[in-house]
Structure 1
Amino acid sequence: MHTKDPVLPLAESEKGFASAQIEFRDVTKMYGAIAAVKDLSLTVRSGEFLTILGPSGSGKSTALMLLAGFVAPTKGDILIAGRSVAAVPSYRRDQGIVFQSYALFPHLTVRRNLEFPLEMRGLKAAERAARVERMLDRVHLKEFGARMPSQLSGGQQQRVALARALIADPPILLLDEPLGALDRNLREQMQVEIKGLHKEFGKTTICVTHDQEEALTLSDRIVVMRAGRIEQTDTPEALYDRPATRFVANFLGEANVFENPELIVEADLAQPPGTVAMIRPERIGIADPSSPKRSDAGLRQSVAGVVDDVIYAGPYRKYRVRIGTQSLVVREHVTSGQQTFSPGSPVRLDWLDSDIRFVAA
């Protein structure tokens, strides 16, 4: 930690970063012969919540570390509010950062953890104390200020980490797998908390995660990365409903790819060359073969199959259905009185022609 050169006040050359539009311009980061990030060009709008999503090794964490200033690009430039930050060290970029491990000071109380970044910025004691109390109240930890981090639950530690990142009012908030260490229930609670904090504080926020549900829940836009490059960027709804590639379709949610083209021939859909057809599991209906067809049957493809497997998951039931050599996954919301099927049951599947998507293979 730098103590001789505090973050505030900003140098004259750095003023104006408060308008936190971020630009990656043709950024490449090499580690030897390996490109962790390759030709990355991306603009993040001021006040936007953007999530970089991808599997391990996709380059998402490297992109965040480049923005944070912890690593330098091999090629290209990164701009904040129209100004290059290539020569600006990480501790002067005026960004709040939350790590997966929380990175709280274990020897300091919660209150001192929050006060420390304000002290580094030269704020007077009275103002520091007032800000800390307001922030403790905002993250519902007012009664925990005197506790040590080891005396807090994982969710409470995460709230402290978020509060510490926000307390100095930075224009940019960076989240590195922020909920990865929490169990499912806590993750869902913290997703609501993070969404509320973003709405309240309006910070330009970049989040890195491999959790698809987290990305869909939190983001204004999602960047899906693969092998150091951007595969697709769009809103959560557009990415899920209209994936551009087979990789995006399979990574963001679950997708049925029609390996047997004959299953969609009857729909008379024009399949572009170099693509495969896919459909989401929840878009497929399942019924007894003898049940009446739907009123919009003329707009649907209908096929006969046999149930191979059933998974009950609380709010929904998932079937794996065999149709010749093709296996399709069907996800059906559980409702009272609905007909259910067991392995070996003959069934009829149907789906709207308009729910078929063609994605690059």
Structure 2
Amino acid sequence: MATLALPKDQRFADDCSRAQIEFCNVTKLYGSVAAVRALSLTVSSGEFLTILGPSGSGKTTTLMLLAGFESPNEGDIRIAGRSVASVPSYRRDQGIVFQSYALFPHLTVRRNLEFPLEMRGMKVGERTKRVDQILERVHLSGFDGRMPSQLSGGQQQRVALARALIADPPILLLDEPLGALDRNLREQMQGEIKSLHKEFGITTVCVTHDQEEALTLSDRVVVMRAGRIEQVDTPEALYDRPATRFVATFLGEANILENSTFDVESGPIPSAGAVAMIRPERIRIGPSTGAKRVDSEERQSVSGTVNDMIYAGAVRKYQVCVGNDVLVVREHVASGKPTFLPGSEVRLDWLRSDIRFVTP
């Protein structure tokens, strides 16, 4: 899809099809409450970055600041090297997809898609061509005459994405884009969003509270807490090497081995006050009388009693009492693997190298 040329006073840089975003020590106050505190962050050109956090963490406020719907009390926001802190939202040349889709209910799909092009002064023939192209790309050819109310949730989401992308903006903002969809459709749309991002190469910032969505879509993930950045990293590094206890427990499940009734065998503790942690899928479960593993010298073993077993289709999740501790173990269901019912005596073991240390 060719880049849509806009008047020069509406673009942030000449020939800028991609944009780098910079938050420079940004603070946003609501009265005496700081929704965002001293936020400094750079989003590279063409990157897909997701901001993740619980309610009240500041993630949505951060997106609203970038979109121009809110203004910072302190600091600056730069796009393609230019300060936009005082630039209104309608002049920031960004595509935005909201959780509610925000489609015009009284307009057909075609008219919804034509609207941003019409506002840019594009001629009718070119508008028609562009709408046909984007409808084909999002697999909605033939739906152009329908009203939003005649579409399923997934189809409305595709229209919202198409409308955000049709003018080829340098930046795409996604606000809980899949929050209104059921699980199966959400997974399908995750693949569609990844494909569109790869094809268009647009710098994308997404806000979500869904950990799986963040890990699936992103080049990097920002975890926020109480208006501050807790950690920024690639999805794999963030999950496998969380820096803090909050990140470890917020991003998936974690066994925090604090004040355990057994000593954790591992390498040196990296810093004072750090606590050992291991992910549930890193722990193996077996019968208490089972043979030792070939790599047993590299493992730590403890004995316990199954307190509960939860079957979840592809996985079984066990809660195992080890002394006064309860460890969560998650294993994939596979042919030949035994099932341990509540009351079963078992042995847990894990590689010492799978132990991670997190700060409070």
TM superposition score normalised by structure 2: 0.96
Structure 2 counterpart SS, 1:277: strand
Structure 1 counterpart SS, 2:142: helix
Residues 303 and 348, structure 1, Cα contact 8 Å, conserved in 2: yes
Residues 298 and 351, structure 2, Cα contact 8 Å, conserved in 1: yes
Q: Tell which deviates more after alignment, 9-18 or 257-266.
A: 9-18
Measure how far apart 1:112 and its partner are: 0.6
Measure how far apart 1:268 and its partner are: 5.8
Measure how far apart 1:325 and its partner are: 0.7
Residues 243 and 359, structure 2, Cα contact 8 Å, conserved in 1: yes
1:281 aligns with 2:280: yes
Paired amino acid for 2:39? L
Structure 1 counterpart SS, 2:262: helix
- Paired residue for 2:50? 51
- Paired residue for 2:346? 347
Whole-angstrom CA distance in 2 between matches of 1:311 and 1:67: 42
Whole-angstrom CA distance in 2 between matches of 1:220 and 1:264: 37
Structure 2 counterpart SS, 1:103: coil
- Paired residue for 2:147? 148
- Paired residue for 2:7? 9
Measure how far apart 1:113 and its partner are: 0.4
- Paired residue for 1:215? 214
- Paired residue for 2:239? 240
Whole-angstrom CA distance in 1 between matches of 2:263 and 2:75: 45
Structure 2 counterpart SS, 1:63: helix
Structure 1 counterpart SS, 2:180: coil
- Paired residue for 1:185? 184
1:333 aligns with 2:338: no
Whole-angstrom CA distance in 1 between matches of 2:195 and 2:138: 10
Closer, same or farther: CA 314–13 of 1 in aligned 2, 3 Å:
closer
Measure how far apart 1:143 and its partner are: 1.5
Whole-angstrom CA distance in 2 between matches of 1:184 and 1:12: 39
Structure 2 counterpart SS, 1:308: strand
1:92-111 equivalences under 5 Å are 92-111=91-110
Can you give the 5+ residue segments of structure 1 that lack an aligned partner in the other structure? 1-6
Whole-angstrom CA distance in 2 between matches of 1:22 and 1:93: 12
Paired amino acid for 1:223? V
Measure how far apart 1:337 and its partner are: 1.5
Whole-angstrom CA distance in 1 between matches of 2:268 and 2:12: 55
Residues 23 and 76, structure 2, Cα contact 8 Å, conserved in 1: yes
Residues 289 and 304, structure 1, Cα contact 8 Å, conserved in 2: yes
Whole-angstrom CA distance in 1 between matches of 2:169 and 2:215: 25
Measure how far apart 1:88 and its partner are: 1.3
Give a deviation string over 1:187-209, Cα, whole Å, max 9, x none.
00000000000000000000000
Whole-angstrom CA distance in 1 between matches of 2:264 and 2:240: 22
Residues 269 and 357, structure 2, Cα contact 8 Å, conserved in 1: no
1:11-30 equivalences under 5 Å are 11=9, 14-16=12-14, 18-30=17-29
Structure 1 vs Structure 2 CA RMSD: 1.3
Measure how far apart 1:271 and its partner are: 5.6
Paired amino acid for 1:194? I
Closer, same or farther: CA 351–111 of 1 in aligned 2, 3 Å:
same
Measure how far apart 1:315 and its partner are: 0.6
1:136 aligns with 2:132: no
Residues 104 and 113, structure 1, Cα contact 8 Å, conserved in 2: yes
Whole-angstrom CA distance in 1 between matches of 2:87 and 2:17: 15
Closer, same or farther: CA 93–271 of 1 in aligned 2, 3 Å:
closer
TM superposition score normalised by structure 1: 0.96
Measure how far apart 1:356 and its partner are: 0.3
Closer, same or farther: CA 10–91 of 1 in aligned 2, 3 Å:
farther
Give a deviation string over 1:64-106, Cα, whole Å, max 9, x none.
0000000000000000011101221100000000000000000
Give a deviation string over 1:157-211, Cα, whole Å, max 9, x none.
0000000000000000000000000000010000000000000000000000000
1:256 aligns with 2:255: yes
Paired amino acid for 2:13? K
Whole-angstrom CA distance in 2 between matches of 1:128 and 1:199: 24
Residues 22 and 81, structure 1, Cα contact 8 Å, conserved in 2: yes
Measure how far apart 1:261 and its partner are: 4.2
Residues 191 and 214, structure 1, Cα contact 8 Å, conserved in 2: yes
Measure how far apart 1:265 and its partner are: 3.8
In the alignment of these two chains, the number of paired residues is 355
Residues 97 and 177, structure 2, Cα contact 8 Å, conserved in 1: yes
- Paired residue for 2:39? 40
Paired amino acid for 1:14? F
Paired amino acid for 1:277? A
Paired amino acid for 2:337? Q
- Paired residue for 1:314? 313
Closer, same or farther: CA 196–82 of 1 in aligned 2, 3 Å:
same
